[in-house]
Amino acid sequence: MNLPAALEAIGFGAIALLVMFVLDRWVTPWRTRRLAQRIIRNVGTGKPAKPRQYRHAIAFDELGFTVSSTMKKSDPVGKLAWSAVHRVMAFKRDYLTVDCICLVFAATEEQLLEIDEEMGGWDEFTQELPKHLPGSIPWAEWFMAVAFPAFATNATEIYSRKSPC
């Protein structure tokens, strides 16, 4: 490699480092402050936040629950009657950088339906679950056991009907 080419490579490297420094020190904090100010302004004026886009949604009533795709209107992904549920397990999936809390409902050993916290209606569903499955452990009692420690499955039975699956 000749001297002019080496100096050119060093110059490009120095410019790249300078650009990264400027982005890190000035541009990113400026954009973050601007976003925070916009959020604070919207909350102050009562403007609601954009609704989160879910891939699946959970709907439930006194007879059972349904998991549907929100991306395409088709038949439900899964449907289960409360009377068919024999066991419910809470556990956590490791998605490398985050964990996802899940519930798996067993009607039989072959018929399982899994839902997770990334589905629309999760909060309402987990709060109402003890009303539909009497004897199930309330969310406030099982959440910490499943959520911690991080990156461990932490399977916890939250409901079991006396008759076997």
Looking at the fold, whether 62 and 111 belong to one and the same domain comes out as yes
Residues 69 and 117 in one domain: yes
- Claim to verify: residue 63 and residue 35 sit in the same structural domain: no
Based on the domain organization, do 64 and 123 belong to the same domain? yes
How many domains does the chain divide into? 2
The reply to whether 103 falls in a domain is yes
Regarding whether 39 and 65 lie in a shared domain, the answer is no
- Give a yes or no: residue 165 inside a domain: no
| Domain extent for 154 | 56-160
pTM of the predicted model, to two decimals?
0.68
Angle ∠(94,99,101) on CA atoms, nearest 5: 105
Sequential pLDDT tens for the chain (165 residues): 688 888 888 988 899 888 888 888 888 888 888 888 887 887 778 776 666 788 999 999 999 999 999 888 777 889 999 999 999 999 999 888 889 999 999 998 889 999 999 999 999 999 999 999 999 999 999 999 999 988 889 999 999 997 654
